[in-house]
């Protein structure tokens, strides 16, 4: 009854949103700047830097394109959006009828097969930040964006080899279940819930920002309306469908996403003649990519004699300027996934450890394929669209994939271009809905199961009460995600996801690993790992280059002004492009001079964009020190029991029928 009522409400809201989009017949407005430090500080320029004399002719156009706008066919796009909404709501109604217990709500009764769970994990992991943000970073920063995409390809190896089977056998629903088995339950569940909510909200914000930008750019629907609409849908999925609905939404989304990604990557390589060597040669020799690197990234107002800006695009250091940053990012990607609460929850949905391992192998294959193809899409966008065109739509590059889909389909205004763009947009929309559902479920489970049921009620709550509290909690988590998504409109989605991984790697991963494999580990160690790891990661990010520093933007603009004005003093006549760059630099200087970051800084104190290389050792050190300082005999005596459980699976409840 309630599910049908909610479905009616959501469909009504969605139809009204679509009607708003149809009624607004004006051209799509160019969005507000959407990135922080990840975006170039100056507007795209097109002063051509000559390629080396021996270079082959570039496949890129000789002149910079006009500022682009994504112009989808509204009727086709809205139809595809509505089809996804209707199908997924059908899944919610189906799942709601089969969700009667806490085990059903949190873990689908343990009745998901390894194959299904593998696709669901892939759907949970391949987020909007991956699909939109990573390809955008590659198109603007070359090989540094590739580093963001290649890391997740290996993150599931740690899960497969170390975490999946023990967690499946040792836990029940949440991260708190794993950590509290031989520690002080209430204390550990409290800090585990706090960490889960923190990580989930950062990840959620990234998805909400992606949703808002997607709808704003594509259908001219206001950012706020878009974020609220997606929030209503995700709350509906979780509140009524629980883990069953979330799982099948993620499976549907993963299938659609892989289909769209494979097709788009194939079209990119087909345009390159299926010649990867020629493809990357054309990228290096593209005059407009060279211009972008010189003017927008390196901020060289005058080209350095003999410097190959095209080759620089294929070398590290344009975005991650410090080599330690690349190592730190790799640590976060490789170990962070093993500490993500919404990924750990998926191990409890399968009936056995064997199925848990199987699901990780499947997810690993799907994710590796996806992130490999994202690299081709990102570099293809740089070559066939140019960074100038991409940044003219969104300075963070988040629309690169969509622009490329339209071009590969035949271009704006063609049936092929409109249909393919609409399909990719619908896939991105489904991606956001699926990922946010998993994140909301993880956060609400931590609050309802760990805090309310086990801390407040001491584990004494009947099934109806547990499910009701979980649904209420999901509603409030969804509201919080909407509010924070509205506040983070100008943040780059990849930076937010990287932060979530850093927090998970620094706090959750050491706590989980040591709980499972170190006999002496105890309550103080768990608390130390999670608190120190999480707080240090967050604190370092707040004073790192990831934040927006208006004064830095002003200083960069001042350099451009000084260089170009000096050329004028020396009698040189500035080109139209130089004059445009000069005007933009003056405007940026005036707007940002004297400004400070969110925490009142004019420049970053911590030099790295990714804190894991510092915060992970701090979290691990705190875990070790806490364990030795506050020895717990009970925790040591119970280690044999948890060791037997994680090896054999004794004590795990049977899967429910589906």
How big is the CA angle at 447 (ends 657 and 254), to the nearest 5 degrees? 55
Angle between helices 2-23 and 74-96 (to 10 degrees): 170
CA–CA dist 375, 265 (Å, integer): 9
Q: What are phi and psi of 564, to 5 degrees?
A: -70, -35
Residues (pLDDT < 50) of the chain are 1-64, 66-67, 653-658
CATH architecture entry for 2-506: Up-down Bundle (1.20)
Measured distance CA(229)–CA(383) in Å, rounded: 35
Q: Is 565 exposed, middle or buried (0-12, 13-18, 19+ CB in 10 A)?
A: middle
Q: What is the pLDDT of residue 68?
A: 53
Task: Supply the pLDDT for residue 51.
Answer: 36
Whole-structure pTM value: 0.76
Residues 6+ apart with CB under 8 A from 174: 106, 192, 193, 196, 341, 344, 345, 442, 445, 446, 449, 450
User: Rounded to an integer, what distance in angstroms lies between the CA atom of residue 361 and that of residue 455?
Assistant: 35
How many alpha carbons fall within 13 Å on the CB side of residue 466?
A: 24
pLDDT in tens, 416-462: 988 998 898 888 888 887 888 888 888 888 888 888 888 888 878 78
Tokens at residue 345, please? 């929850």
CA 270 from chain centre, in angstroms, equals: 28
C-alpha to C-alpha distance for 367 and 380, rounded to whole angstroms? 20
| The pLDDT value given to residue 453 | 86
Tokens 């990228």 identify what position? 283
Cα 313 to Cα 295: distance, rounded to the nearest angstrom: 13
Other C-beta atoms closer than 10 Å to the C-beta of 276 total: 12
Residue with tokens 């009745």: 111
Q: What is the pLDDT of residue 9?
A: 36
Distance, CA of 169 to CA of 153 (rounded, Å): 25
Burial tier of 314 (Cβ tally within 10 Å: 0-12, 13-18, 19+)? middle
Residue 47 pLDDT: 32
Distance CA 83, CA 78 (A): 8
**The tokens of 463 are what?**
């099934």
Q: State residue 69's pLDDT score.
A: 66
Contacts of 528 (CB under 8 A, 6+ apart): 619, 622, 623, 625, 626, 627
Q: What is the Cα–Cα distance from 633 to 522, expressed in whole angstroms?
A: 9
DSSP 111-147: ---HHHHHHHHHHHHS-HIIIIIIHHHHHHHTHHHHH
Q: Give the per-residue pLDDT at 621.
A: 96
Q: Which tokens go with 365?
A: 């294959």
Instruction: Judge contact between 124 and 343, C-beta under 8 A.
Output: yes
Give the containing element (helix H, strand E) for 38.
Answer: none
Q: Which helix (H) or strand (E) holds 512?
A: helix 509-517
Please compute, for residue 31, the number of CA atoms within 13 A of its CA located in the half-sphere on the CB side.
31
pLDDT digits (tens, 9 = 90+) for 54-73: 333 334 344 445 445 667 77
């Amino acid at each position: 009854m309630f599910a049908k009522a909610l479905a009616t409400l959501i469909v009504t809201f969605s139809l009204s949103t679509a009607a708003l989009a149809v009624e607004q017949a004006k051209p799509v407005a160019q969005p507000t700047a959407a990135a922080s430090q990840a975006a170039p500080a100056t507007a795209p320029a097109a002063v051509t830097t000559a390629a080396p004399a021996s270079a082959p002719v570039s496949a890129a156009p000789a002149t910079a394109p006009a500022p682009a706008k994504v112009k989808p066919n509204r009727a086709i796009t809205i139809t595809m959006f509505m089809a996804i909404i209707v199908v997924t709501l059908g899944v919610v109604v189906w799942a709601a009828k089969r969700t009667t217990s806490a085990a059903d709500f949190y873990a689908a009764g343990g009745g998901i097969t390894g194959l299904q769970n593998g696709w669901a994990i892939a759907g949970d992991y391949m987020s909007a930040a991956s699909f939109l943000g990573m390809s955008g970073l590659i198109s603007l920063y070359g090989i540094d964006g590739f580093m963001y995409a290649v890391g997740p390809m290996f993150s599931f190896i740690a899960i497969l080899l170390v975490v999946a089977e023990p967690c499946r056998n040792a836990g029940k629903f949440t991260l708190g279940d794993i950590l509290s088995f031989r520690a002080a339950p209430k204390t550990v569940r409290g800090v585990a819930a706090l960490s889960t909510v923190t990580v989930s909200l950062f990840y959620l914000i990234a998805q909400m920002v992606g949703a808002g930008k997607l709808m704003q750019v594509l259908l001219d629907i206001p950012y706020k309306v878009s974020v609220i609409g997606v929030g209503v849908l995700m709350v509906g999925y979780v509140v009524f469908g629980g883990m069953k609905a979330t799982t099948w939404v993620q499976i549907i989304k993963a299938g659609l996403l892989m289909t769209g990604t494979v097709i788009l990557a194939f079209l990119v390589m087909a345009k390159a003649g299926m010649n990867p060597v020629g493809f990357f040669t054309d990228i290096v020799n593209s005059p407009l990519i060279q211009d972008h690197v010189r003017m927008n990234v390196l901020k060289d107002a005058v080209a350095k004699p003999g410097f190959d800006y095209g080759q620089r695009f294929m070398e590290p250091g344009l975005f991650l300027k410090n080599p330690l940053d690349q190592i730190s990012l790799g640590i976060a990607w490789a170990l962070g996934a093993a500490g993500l609460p919404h990924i750990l929850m998926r191990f409890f949905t399968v009936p056995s450890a064997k199925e848990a391992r199987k699901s990780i192998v499947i997810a690993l294959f799907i994710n590796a394929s996806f992130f490999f193809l994202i690299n081709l899409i990102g570099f293809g966008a740089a070559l066939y669209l140019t960074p100038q065109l991409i940044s003219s739509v969104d300075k963070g590059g988040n629309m690169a994939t969509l622009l490329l889909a339209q071009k590969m389909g035949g271009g704006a205004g063609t049936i092929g271009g409109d249909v393919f763009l609409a399909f990719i947009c619908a896939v991105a929309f489904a991606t956001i809905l699926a990922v946010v559902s998993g994140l909301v479920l993880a956060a609400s489970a931590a609050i309802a199961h760990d805090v309310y049921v086990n801390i407040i009620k001491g584990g004494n709550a009947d099934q109806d009460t547990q499910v009701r509290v979980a649904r209420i909690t999901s509603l409030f988590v969804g509201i919080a995600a909407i509010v924070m998504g509205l506040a983070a409109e100008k943040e780059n989605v990849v930076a937010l996801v990287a932060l979530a991984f850093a927090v998970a790697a620094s706090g959750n991963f050491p706590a989980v690993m040591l709980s499972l494999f170190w006999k002496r580990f105890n309550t103080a160690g768990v608390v130390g790992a999670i608190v120190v790891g999480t707080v240090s990661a967050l604190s370092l990010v707040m004073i790192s280059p990831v934040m927006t520093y208006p004064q830095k933007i002003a200083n960069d603009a001042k350099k451009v002004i000084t260089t170009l004005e000096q050329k004028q003093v020396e009698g040189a006549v500035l080109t139209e492009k130089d004059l445009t760059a000069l005007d933009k630099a003056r405007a940026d200087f005036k707007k940002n001079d004297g400004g400070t970051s969110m925490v009142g800084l004019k420049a970053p104190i911590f030099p790295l964009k990714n804190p894991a290389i510092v915060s992970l050792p701090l979290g691990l050190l705190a875990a070790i020190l806490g364990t030795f300082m506050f020895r717990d005999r009970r925790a040591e005596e119970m280690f044999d029991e948890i060791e037997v459980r994680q090896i054999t699976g004794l004590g795990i409840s049977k899967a429910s029928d589906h």
